[in-house]
């Protein structure tokens, strides 16, 4: 039988459509993200504890990420783990967590800025300082941090403690 050009086109199109719809789905290979593109400063929930000379001054869960911090004595500086080149990209940090808890629960803290460490020293919390006899120790999950509070990376669920500690 003789097929017209139009019929032939229709037939070929239908056959092609059927072939395409019945073709098995091809899984796309997972594309690995370069390390530099993985977001590291996603907000995390941590517990912030402040223990003073006469007992607990604060304990609370705080949502935090690395951010610029402003203190009366030290001014405004980044506090996101890139301080001192500690981390290649921004991360949540202990001092930023203290800052977030203080803002949320409306208590004060202060700290001097040390350009030599590219970090704040946490000097007073809720008006309590060391008075030359003590300092605010920073620990994460019970271990004192080997670096200042803007250089250490916090992970979700961590407990960061600021503990008034006599010399």
Residues binding ligand B12 (CB under 6 A) = 84, 114, 116-117, 119, 121-122, 135-138, 144-149, 151, 167
Pairwise CA distance, residues 157 & 64, whole Å = 11
Which two tokens mark 14? 């239908």
Between 13 and 76, whose beta carbon lies closer to ligand B12?
76
Residue 109: CB atoms within 10 Å: 24
With beta carbons less than 8 A apart as the criterion, state whether 67 and 135 touch: no
Pairwise CA distance, residues 72 & 9, whole Å = 79
Parallel/antiparallel/unpaired status of strands 159-166 and 44-52: parallel
Between 34 and 146, whose beta carbon lies closer to ligand B12?
146
Between 62 and 95, whose beta carbon lies closer to ligand B12?
95
Residue least distant from ligand B12 (Cβ) = 148
Between 44 and 150, whose beta carbon lies closer to ligand B12?
150
Least gap, CB of 122 to ligand B12 (angstroms): 4
Least gap, CB of 143 to ligand B12 (angstroms): 9
């Amino acid at each position: 039988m003789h097929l017209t050009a139009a019929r032939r086109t229709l037939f070929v199109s239908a056959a092609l459509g059927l072939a395409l719809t019945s073709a098995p789905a091809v899984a796309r290979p997972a594309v690995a993200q370069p390390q530099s593109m993985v977001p590291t400063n996603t907000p995390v929930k941590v517990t912030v504890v402040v223990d003073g000379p006469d007992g607990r001054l604060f304990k609370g869960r705080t949502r935090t990420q690395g951010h610029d911090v402003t203190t009366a004595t030290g001014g405004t500086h980044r506090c996101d783990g890139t301080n001192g080149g500690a981390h290649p990209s921004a991360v949540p940090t202990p001092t930023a967590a203290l800052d977030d808890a203080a803002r949320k629960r409306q208590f004060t803290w202060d700290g001097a800025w040390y350009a030599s460490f590219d970090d704040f020293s946490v000097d007073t919390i809720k008006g309590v300082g060391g008075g030359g006899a003590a300092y605010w120790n920073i620990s994460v999950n019970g271990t004192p941090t080997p670096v200042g509070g803007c250089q250490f990376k916090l992970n979700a669920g961590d407990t960061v403690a600021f503990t008034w500690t006599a010399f």
